[in-house]
């Protein structure tokens, strides 16, 4: 498997450096070849090349079997004319990574803030209120006068239909239940179209139940009884908010895996930001990026019928659960290890499983 790895900003290089030995150990343990190409992106690229994302990186990503993107300092990158391109938005849009898949589950050894749950948020990734990715050219947030801003939201039938299909396909392999989260009581046309496409898709998956919940009620249900949910499908902004909340409820945002997938390409990306306040201090939890990389292995393995990659993904998640139980973890979830040591311990745990 050929991976393009872009470490990013802040804690990105640290958690990437912790994740790569884990992937190396998994490739040995589960019998697949791994080739890694690492390139700068974000501030390091801006300093070296005058641009945060070099144009040639897009072709490198297309030529690879998967892309791993570390957190980027996206708030710093405001002017594309000065080379300040948001790396995440660039690859999501350029590779048409329309599905953001964010599992969230509780871990037996950690406090369960909302009770035990195991769910996946499937978030549309290319339109909605996101001003940097829903226009072909320009920006969808407009300063009409000094005191008036208009933010445009784009919703298309195609995007609604394909994100619904991803959610139902995933639910068919899980507990066969999809919840469509919306605000169609207010956004009658846009969210109404989204619901229409979810209902149409359900006809192709009669074994999967569908229910529809207004977004504010969904948040209340998540707090009260998160175990009721299996696969949540929703539009871009709702999904961004819900998935951060469910990741934190699982124990820490540092445990939230995230895969951005399209028809032909996929990108693993930690669900959190670049955390510049702890960068360089060996404090960051690398599990979010590691679990994201495991999702990428599973995506690739299912597409190419490579059982080793699929097994490795499950093995990494199992090793993370065991590492948490043994306390081989960072401080944010009750451990004493640093970022590097947590990654090294997890890689060693996977190697020990190989020897059994």
| Phi, psi dihedrals of residue 133, rounded to the nearest 5° | -140, 5
- Tokens 């979010």 identify what position? 288
Cβ proximity of 294 and 316 under 8 Å? yes
Dihedral of CA 238/239/244/250: which sign?
positive
Residues 6+ apart with CB under 8 A from 355: none
Task: With H, G, I as helix, E, B as strand and everything else as coil, classify residue 145.
Answer: strand
| Phi, psi dihedrals of residue 351, rounded to the nearest 5° | -65, -40
196 is catalytic: no
CB-count exposure of residue 9 (10 Å: 0-12, 13-18, 19+)? buried
CA separation for the pair 5, 2 (Å, rounded) = 10
Residues 6+ apart with CB under 8 A from 57: 4, 6, 39, 41
Catalytic residue among 76, 96, 244, 332: 244
Dihedral of CA 166/118/67/23: which sign?
negative
CA separation for the pair 2, 25 (Å, rounded) = 15
Catalytic residue among 132, 183, 191, 265: 183
Tell me the C-alpha to C-alpha distance, in Å, between residue 226 and each of 229, 241, 242, 249. 6, 15, 12, 9
Catalytic residue among 30, 130, 238, 265: 130
Reference 115, options 251, 230, 238; nearest CA is: 251
216 is catalytic: yes
CA separation for the pair 321, 343 (Å, rounded) = 13
Task: With H, G, I as helix, E, B as strand and everything else as coil, classify residue 178.
Answer: strand
Catalytic residue among 132, 230, 240, 265: 240
244 is catalytic: yes
Which is it for strands 66-69 and 99-105: parallel, antiparallel or unpaired?
unpaired
65 is catalytic: no
What residues are annotated to the active site? Answer: 130, 183, 216, 240, 244
């Amino acid at each position: 498997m050929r991976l393009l790895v872009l470490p990013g900003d802040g804690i990105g290089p640290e958690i990437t450096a912790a994740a790569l030995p884990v992937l190396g150990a998994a490739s040995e343990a589960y019998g697949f070849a791994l080739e890694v190409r690492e390139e700068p992106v974000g501030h390091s690229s801006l300093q070296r090349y005058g641009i945060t994302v070099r144009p040639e990186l897009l072709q490198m990503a297309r030529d690879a079997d998967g892309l791993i993107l570390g957190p980027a300092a996206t708030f710093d990158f405001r002017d594309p004319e000065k080379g300040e391109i948001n790396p995440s938005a660039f690859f999501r849009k350029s590779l048409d990574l329309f599905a953001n898949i964010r599992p969230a589950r509780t871990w037996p050894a950690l406090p369960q803030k909302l009770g035990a749950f195991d769910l996946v948020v499937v978030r549309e990734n290319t339109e909605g209120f996101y001003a940097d990715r829903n226009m072909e050219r320009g920006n969808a947030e407009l300063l009409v006068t000094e005191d008036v801003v208009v933010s445009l939201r784009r919703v298309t039938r195609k995007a609604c239909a394909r994100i619904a299909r991803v959610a139902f396909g995933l639910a068919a392999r899980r507990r066969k239940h999809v919840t469509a989260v919306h605000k169609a009581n207010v956004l009658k046309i846009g969210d109404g179209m989204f619901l229409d496409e979810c209902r149409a898709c359900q006809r192709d998956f009669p074994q999967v139940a569908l229910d529809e919940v207004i977004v504010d009620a969904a948040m209340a249900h998540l707090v009260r009884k998160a175990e009721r949910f299996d696969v949540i499908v929703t539009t871009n902004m709702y999904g961004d908010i819900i998935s951060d909340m469910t990741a934190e409820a699982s124990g820490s945002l540092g445990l939230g895996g995230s895969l951005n997938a399209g028809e032909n390409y996929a990108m693993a990306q930690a669900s959190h930001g670049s955390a510049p306040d702890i960068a360089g201090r060996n404090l960051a939890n690398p599990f979010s990026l590691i679990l994201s990389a495991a999702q990428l292995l599973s995506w690739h393995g299912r597409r190419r019928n490579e059982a080793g990659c699929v097994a490795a993904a499950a093995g990494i998640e199992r090793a993370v659960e065991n590492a948490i139980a043994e306390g081989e973890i960072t401080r944010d979830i009750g451990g004493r290890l640093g970022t590097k040591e947590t990654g090294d311990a997890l890689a060693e745990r996977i190697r020990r499983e190989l020897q059994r």
